[in-house]
Amino acid sequence: MALKPSSPKSGDSNQNRSGSNQNRPGGQNRPSGGQNRPAGGQNRPVGGANRPSGGGPNQQRGRRPFPPRQKQAEHRINEFIRVPELRLVGENLEEISEAVGQKVETGVYPTSKLISWAEELGLDLVEISPNASPPVARIIDYNKFLYQKKKKEKELKAKAVKQQLKEIRFGPETGDHDFDFKLRHAKNFLSEGNKVKAYVQFRGRAIVFKDRGELLLLRFLKELEEFGTAEQLPRLDGKRMMVIIAPKKTPGKK
């Protein structure tokens, strides 16, 4: 009677199965889930741990060593005046006398007293001549004083004439018609306060007629006597003979 092969035990089947797992690639050295993985947040810096705290008791906050400099005024005023005494001038001395209850005249006063007077009037003590001995000051509204000063400077600048040098060119054979035309231009230039540079241009062999050029410029100067004066007599410079005429000052101009 043939014997039946014995069936393997359950323990043996499990042993062989586990062995098969050992021989499976990647099975033995594969780390178990999360075994060697760093714990969540274990080595991660805690949020804000190394971040500088916002204003702790021992933390030194950066601060500016010196306050910003004040924009320097055009004049020294009030407490910025360091001299002990000043010479007071101005057109409002009667107004100051009524405010302080005593007669105030042009003269030298202690700076501290002048500052107190200015405070009573709601005005400023302004040092207008710092190089005088003692310096000269006025009690005025400083902003109004600057406004009037700039307005006056602007008016003087608008009235000032910007002098230019105008050129008038002649030839040694210039005719009367061309001469009169250029003479009228020269009169207009001088009347506007400009200088006139008149010259005779010699080309090639025309330099031999330099006497004609000199006579022409002398005639030109003669015709312009009422409008300008020559800074110097006609002179030859290379192939040019020239003269510069400056405008005469009218009675209304300085």
Q: Which structural domains are found in the chain, ordered by start? A: 78-155 (3.10.20.80), 165-247 (3.30.110.10)
Q: How far apart are alpha carbons 32 and 35 in whole angstroms?
A: 5
Output the pTM of the full model: 0.40
How many C-beta atoms surround the C-beta of residue 136 within 10 A? 19
How many C-beta atoms surround the C-beta of residue 194 within 10 A? 19
Q: How far apart are alpha carbons 213 and 241 in whole angstroms?
A: 7
Question: pLDDT value at position 185?
Answer: 93
Question: pLDDT value at position 164?
Answer: 83
Q: What is the 3-state secondary structure (H, E, C) of the chain?
A: CCCCCCCCCHHHHHHHHHHHHHHCCCCCCCCCCCCCCCCCCCCCCCCCCCCCCCCCCCCCCCCCCCCCCCCCCCCCEHHHCCCCEEEECCCCHHHHHHHHCCCCCCEEEEHHHHHHHHHHHCCEEEEEECCCCCCEEEEECHHHHHHHHHHHHHHHHHHCCCCCEEEEEECCCCCHHHHHHHHHHHHHHHHCCCEEEEEEECCHHHHHHHHHHHHHHHHHHHHCCCCEEECCCCEEECCEEEEEEEECCCCCCC
The first and second tokens of residue 51, run together, are: 């971040």
Q: How far apart are alpha carbons 87 and 110 in whole angstroms?
A: 9
Helix axes 176-191, 210-223, angle to 10 degrees: 50
pLDDT lower than 70: segments of the chain? 1-73, 159-162, 206, 250-254
Greatest Cα-to-Cα distance within the chain, rounded to the nearest angstrom? 167
The first and second tokens of residue 171, run together, are: 């030839």
